[in-house]
Amino acid sequence: MKQIWAVLLALVLLAGCSASNMARLESQNGEIKTVVHSNNLLLSSRLAIKNIIISQVGDLMKAQATLENRWKFRLDFQYQFKWFDKNGFEIAPERSPWQQLVMPGRTQANVQALAPNSSAMRFEIWAQE
């Protein structure tokens, strides 16, 4: 019985440290929608994506997302933009480092990123504690 509890505790701790795919922008039939997923329930319950804006800078896609700390306390986490081509392959993952962000309780912050090259068709925002 103690072994089962130890395994469950280890799984909970690992889930708390894992990265979360917080927002993904998908386009179907010309309609763009935001899809929010997470595998870190604690972080996803405290962090929300309020708005996503996309623009072009030359031939590169630029993205901005408004993140909201829904928790009343300070939230300290890292985020990362991941860019994908039309076939779903990740583009230049080594050029998308994790960025630290500290948000006071119940505040919003804008995060931005520029696609690494012109083949980027969509992006995902990942977050981890």
pLDDT of the residue at 8:
34
pLDDT-wise least confident of 16-25, 45-54, 61-70, 105-114: 16-25
Residue type, 7: V
CATH number at residue 58: 2.60.40.3230
**What are 51-79's pLDDT values in tens digits?**
999 999 999 999 999 999 999 999 999 99
CA distance 125 to 50: 13
Strand pairing category for 122-128 and 20-28: antiparallel
Q: Is residue 23 part of a domain?
A: no
Query: 42 or 19: whose pLDDT is higher?
Result: 42
User: What is the percent of the chain with per-residue pLDDT over 90, rounded to a whole number?
Assistant: 53
Residue 56 belongs to domain spanning: 34-128
Q: Count how many domains the chain has.
A: 1
Does 24 map to a domain? no
Pair 25, 109: CB distance under 8 Å: no
Question: Given a cut of 80, is residue 83 above it in pLDDT?
Answer: yes
Of 116, 99, 117, 113, residue with least CA distance to 25? 113
- Is position 105 within any domain? yes
Please give the radius of gyration of the chain, using alpha carbons only, rounded to the nearest integer.
16
The answer to the question of residue 27 being in a domain is: no
